[in-house]
Amino acid sequence: MAHVHDPYEEAKKQLRQTIELLGLSEEIYEILAYPERLIQVRLPVKMDDGTVKVFIAWRSQHNSALGPYKGGVRYHPNTDAHEVIALSMWMTWKNSLAGLPYGGGKGGIRVDPHKLSQSELMRLSKAYFEAISDLVGVDQDIPAPDVYTNPQTMAWYFDAYSRIKRGQYFGVVTGKPLELGGLQTRIIATGFGTAVAARELAKKLWGGLEGKVVAVQGYGNAGYYAAKFLHEWGAKIIAVSDSKGGILVESGLDPDEVLKVKRETRSVINFPNAKRITNEELLELDVDILVPAAIENVITEANADKIKAKAIVEAANGPTTPEAEEILTKKGIIVVPDILANAGGVIMSHIEWVNNRMGGWITEEEARNRLEQKMMNNFAKVWDYWQTKLDTSKYNMRAAAYAIAVDRVVRAMKLRGWI
Give the residue numbers annotated as catalytic, written as ranges: 106
How many Cβ atoms sit within 10 Å of the Cβ of residue 27?
9
How many Cβ atoms sit within 10 Å of the Cβ of residue 388?
9
DSSP letter for 168, please.
-
Identity of the amino acid at 79: T
279 vs 26: CA distance, rounded Å: 40
- Contact between residue 173 and residue 158 where contact means Cβ atoms under 8 Å apart: yes
Identity of the amino acid at 368: R
Look at strands 69-76 and 103-110 and give their pairing: parallel
C-alpha dihedral, 303 to 309 to 315 to 321, nearest 10°:
30
**Is 258 in a helix, a strand, or coil?**
helix
Which residues does residue 143 pair with via DSSP β-bridges, in sequence order? 71
**Is 402 in a helix, a strand, or coil?**
helix
3 vs 224: CA distance, rounded Å: 30
Residues 6+ apart with CB under 8 A from 135: 37, 39, 59, 61, 141
Angle, vertex CA 308, rays to CA 334 and CA 392, nearest 5: 20
